[in-house]
Amino acid sequence: MPQFYLPGPWESQKPNTLSPEAAHHLRVRRIQVGEAFPVFDGKGQVAQAKLLSLSGKTGQVELSAMQTDTHRETPYAITLAQGLAGGDKMDWIVEKAVETGTQIIAPLQCERSILKLTRSSDLERAQKRVTHWEAIVQAACEQCDRTVFASIEPIQTFENYLKASPQATLKLLLSPDAKQTMHSVLIDQDPQDIVLMIGPEGGHSPEEEEAAQAAGYQIVSLGERVLRTETAGIVAITTVHSIWNPEMQNRLK
């Protein structure tokens, strides 16, 4: 049975009230009064919930076996700095980034971005997009059993993101024209927090690549083929895990 999001704080000895959204999900899943199902709070807490009542737009559950469970989170944090993509591509990118283990998603308006959302007149529209993506994060975590929500940063320009200087020391910008491969960089590095920067449709401009290099980014490629923007980030995230996770397992033995 899939897990359900139940916002905290939780009460262990008292009935917990369901949000209208959670109550709706339980109805869709045909959960009956008396049935138990797993819940999580998006911050690493999990529990078993027993449905006590379900009426109107709400209901109540009783929680047991509350504990912290973050075993699906990696010891290194991946930030996906994604150039804004048009249409519904960003929805797909957010969903798959969560499923593959990204902890932070930073949507960036780049020079070649079709979608423009950083003008003062676009603030309300931009916030609605972020709220929409946060809902996708929740749904993706419910589906893939992650217990910690990935965070969505506010939409910002490429230039402002570089000035913010993310804490990760390993920062990679993906470009099909790079001479250095991503694999060759990762294989020589210990697992650590990492930023993966992906361009929008058409990639980053030469000026953006130059600015990123000046800010400490290495320009790397994923191989011989040119990938779409909605594909490149997911492949890059998976590449990080395929190289670093076996190494982490060996160190824990």
Query: 4-68 has which CATH code?
Result: 2.40.240.20
How many CA atoms, within 13 angstroms, populate the side-chain half-sphere of residue 174?
Answer: 33
d(C-alpha 50, C-alpha 226), whole Å = 49
The distance between the two most distant Cα atoms of the chain, rounded to a whole number of Å, is 61
Residue with tokens 């079709």: 114
Bridge partners of 78? Answer: 194
Which pLDDT does position 246 carry in this prediction? Answer: 64
Q: In this structure, are residues 199 and 83 in contact, taking their beta carbons and an 8 Å threshold?
A: yes
DSSP code of 9?
-
Which pLDDT does position 251 carry in this prediction? Answer: 41
Hey, what CATH class is 78-252 in?
alpha beta
Q: How far is CA 235 from CA 27, 46, 153, 174, 225, in A?
A: 36, 30, 21, 11, 12
Residue 156, SS3 per DSSP: strand
Which pLDDT does position 242 carry in this prediction? Answer: 94
For the chain, which residues make up each domain, given as ranges? 4-68, 78-252
Per-residue pLDDT tens listing for the chain (253 residues)? 789 999 988 987 789 999 888 898 899 889 999 999 999 999 999 999 999 999 888 999 999 999 999 999 999 999 999 999 988 999 999 999 999 999 999 999 999 888 777 777 788 888 999 999 999 999 999 999 999 999 999 999 999 999 986 677 899 999 998 999 999 999 999 999 999 999 999 999 999 999 999 999 999 999 888 899 999 999 999 999 999 986 444 443 4
Please report, to the nearest 10 degrees, the dihedral formed by the alpha carbons of residues 114, 115, 119, 120 taken in order.
160
CA nearest neighbour of 47 among 21, 19, 8: 8
Residue 134, SS3 per DSSP: helix
Which pLDDT does position 131 carry in this prediction? Answer: 95
Which pLDDT does position 174 carry in this prediction? Answer: 97
